Structure 1
């Protein structure tokens, strides 16, 4: 019999706040490793971690002294830290009923001491924790605790700065797109000037106005050069996009999206004995699209599918880019062979009224708001979400998101 998981009163606001940072949990270590190492030095512990906690998973985005990438939220100590305003401390994990049977306490590395400080955003939401751990019991004096709080604040500041930098990068890329449109737009007027110059040149030749003809030839020559320049800009952009478009920092393509999903969620599937696979349409494998909230949307669906699929089951993701004459749509399907949903549960999810806090097939504890968060994010991107499910026969989530025009 397991204990009920601790769930913050502001859980939905909390997970929205985390999702707004739009983080890729797989590539943040370099940005935070200096602060993580500093935290261990300040505390005098062997190990320090920076953990972010979403609806299902604790993601370790930076670690010192102990290699960790993720663990189920219900197995973490930091799930209790995000319930606190200031700090959370356990002097001996092996003597605490909440943690004494956890693998990292009973077995190697045999953790004993834990001290965590919540990572709090300006909105007052605890999105994760900075924690220090040791294999021996100890206590931190008030000076060290204050220093750790300063480090925790700096971690939050860097997360916000990272979001701002990414936003600025997006704006710069949009400026480049403006350049392309300008090049396109000047072709029409320049073409008209050249046509007019040719007409005047023809008439002037009949009147033998040599000086006028020479002046118009210069206009014609200059106009032709500008037209060639505009064509060169457009053609270079077109050739680059047709060959193998270079991804900007805020972009993904199907190949990279597949790789990230496998890296982030294969460990969860393996841990539960589930066959996890990601399929893409290779015809559109390198076409770029904005990554805005895609990892948060798809990741929550995958974690939810794994939670409600028994061992030896299947969770599959199908990714495609639907290309029409005037639009592009990203198509995401997440299917499982799990317990399925009844009609009322489907209606609750689609209306945003379901917290999906039911326990999983192996007793995984429910924290709620995973699927309502997905619905919230999809609606914010002006997309659609359909659910096909039958109790006992699995579920398919079908997401369609419009891709902004270049």
Structure 2
């Protein structure tokens, strides 16, 4: 294991680990209620003052549930849990003050003056450690083997809940698609049935000249049946429309919702680095729904990358819009920064999925996978990624993702 306090550790399967975390498609802004009971239980089992459930992406440790410490996020390269995800077994530091990697960290030297750490990796079936269940205290602790086994069980339950949440979201999405299909079917049958009714009406109006009473009676029945089906279609449409105007689908955002989530997740990082961070939406299409699949991971990685390479006092602007097309709509997401920029060779490297690690403007350690991961996720959604940049003049990333017309 790396013991250099200035060089953060990186798992050998880092890209696969990040992909596995992205596949869960988690919204870090609203997970605490699903796991708060487990953090409290873990603290009670371990006998520690603090228990956290942390998920680590490329640059940030996201705390999705906490007990004893009010925290939402922390720079990954400053955390202890970055070492926990390096291994399959729990990671323990009995006295942080005596460990060269952590003794100068603010959480050791200042409030809350932590001394003890015990972390259990949160591991998926493929061997990817996406985060940790960690227990911390201001005093040295002893955790018995029996308690360690209980903590492992809690960690397994956390992973199971994460996977279950993903499965539930997929089921909700399938249900929503089925409801959309029902709405479209109802819409599609209106025209043909209306035509049948109109034809039947014309024939009925000409019935005085027709001596075939049986045919007239048959046409009358067709007209009545057609009216019944048309009324049913109207009921389906009228029942569905108000719901969509009030509530987005389970697998949908609009620009205002995405803006709110991105501001909540990344404004603290911008404030910490003294960067001007803003998000703009297109007001004409701001309420139009679109698929939320992987969006927080895609835009989040771009924002984190811009934070890394934009100096203090710089600016990062995110622009969201939807452009309507005949066959499909396109969601456009632009991230502009006033950072250090890059040359064409670096741009080609990124677009080829071969981005290498570099360090940020304030000494942040680079992991070399963020932009490669974004490219991978965008390709998986049949989208496109564009980069415009000049050395010393900032960078603009644009992501274009196709959206089915049915989400309009």
Match of 2:193 in 1: 190
Q: 1:344: Cα distance to partner? A: 1.2
* TM-score of the two chains, using structure 2 as the length reference: 0.94
Unaligned runs of at least 5 residues, structure 2: none
Correspondence 1:89-104 to 2 at 5 A: 89-104=92-107
Rounded Cα–Cα distance in structure 2 between residues aligned with 1:202 and 1:404: 43
Q: Is the 8 A contact 1:245 1:287 kept in 2?
A: no
Q: Is the 8 A contact 2:5 2:101 kept in 1?
A: no
Q: Is the 8 A contact 1:313 1:337 kept in 2?
A: yes
Residue number among 153, 157, 166 corresponding to 2:156 in the alignment: 153
Match of 2:324 in 1: 323
Rounded Cα–Cα distance in structure 2 between residues aligned with 1:335 and 1:15: 24
2:178 is equivalent to residue 178 of structure 1: no
Match of 1:259 in 2: 260
Match of 2:38 in 1: 35
Greater CA drift, 277-286 or 7-16: 277-286
Q: Deviations over 1:130-170 (max 9, x none)?
A: 00000101121100001000100110011000000000000
Rounded Cα–Cα distance in structure 1 between residues aligned with 2:51 and 2:128: 22
Q: 1:219: Cα distance to partner? A: 2.9
Rounded Cα–Cα distance in structure 1 between residues aligned with 2:324 and 2:243: 19
Match of 2:230 in 1: 227
Q: 1:229: Cα distance to partner? A: 3.4
Q: Is the 8 A contact 2:190 2:233 kept in 1?
A: yes
Rounded Cα–Cα distance in structure 1 between residues aligned with 2:198 and 2:287: 40
Distance 1:307 1:2, change over 3 A: farther
Match of 2:342 in 1: 341
Rounded Cα–Cα distance in structure 1 between residues aligned with 2:92 and 2:333: 42
Q: 1:322: Cα distance to partner? A: 1.0
Unaligned runs of at least 5 residues, structure 1: none
* TM-score of the two chains, using structure 1 as the length reference: 0.95
**How many residue pairs were aligned?**
403
Rounded Cα–Cα distance in structure 2 between residues aligned with 1:248 and 1:270: 33
Q: Is the 8 A contact 1:384 1:399 kept in 2?
A: yes
RMSD over aligned CA atoms reads: 1.8
Greater CA drift, 325-334 or 378-387: 325-334
Match of 2:290 in 1: 289
Residue number among 66, 69, 73 corresponding to 1:66 in the alignment: 69
Q: Deviations over 1:38-68 (max 9, x none)?
A: 1001101111000000011000000011111
What's the secondary structure of 1:167's corresponding residue? helix
Q: 1:287: Cα distance to partner? A: 1.0
Greater CA drift, 317-326 or 221-230: 221-230
Correspondence 1:207-286 to 2 at 5 A: 207=210, 213-234=216-237, 237=240, 244-286=245-287
Q: 1:284: Cα distance to partner? A: 1.2
Rounded Cα–Cα distance in structure 1 between residues aligned with 2:260 and 2:247: 17
Q: Deviations over 1:284-340 (max 9, x none)?
A: 111111100000000000001001111011111111111123321111110111111
Distance 1:2 1:80, change over 3 A: closer
Rounded Cα–Cα distance in structure 2 between residues aligned with 1:266 and 1:196: 62
Greater CA drift, 294-303 or 202-211: 202-211
Match of 1:383 in 2: 383
Rounded Cα–Cα distance in structure 2 between residues aligned with 1:155 and 1:81: 16
Q: 1:246: Cα distance to partner? A: 1.8
Rounded Cα–Cα distance in structure 1 between residues aligned with 2:191 and 2:401: 34
What's the secondary structure of 1:284's corresponding residue? coil
Q: Is the 8 A contact 2:117 2:135 kept in 1?
A: yes
What's the secondary structure of 2:284's corresponding residue? helix
Q: Deviations over 1:168-193 (max 9, x none)?
A: 00000011011112212322442343
2:94 is equivalent to residue 85 of structure 1: no
Q: 1:343: Cα distance to partner? A: 1.6
Rounded Cα–Cα distance in structure 2 between residues aligned with 1:62 and 1:329: 35
Distance 1:39 1:83, change over 3 A: same
Match of 2:112 in 1: 109
Q: 1:238: Cα distance to partner? A: 5.5
Match of 2:127 in 1: 124
What's the secondary structure of 2:63's corresponding residue? strand
Rounded Cα–Cα distance in structure 1 between residues aligned with 2:255 and 2:104: 41
Greater CA drift, 280-289 or 368-377: 280-289
Q: 1:363: Cα distance to partner? A: 0.6
What's the secondary structure of 1:127's corresponding residue? strand
Rounded Cα–Cα distance in structure 1 between residues aligned with 2:128 and 2:143: 25
Q: Is the 8 A contact 1:113 1:135 kept in 2?
A: yes
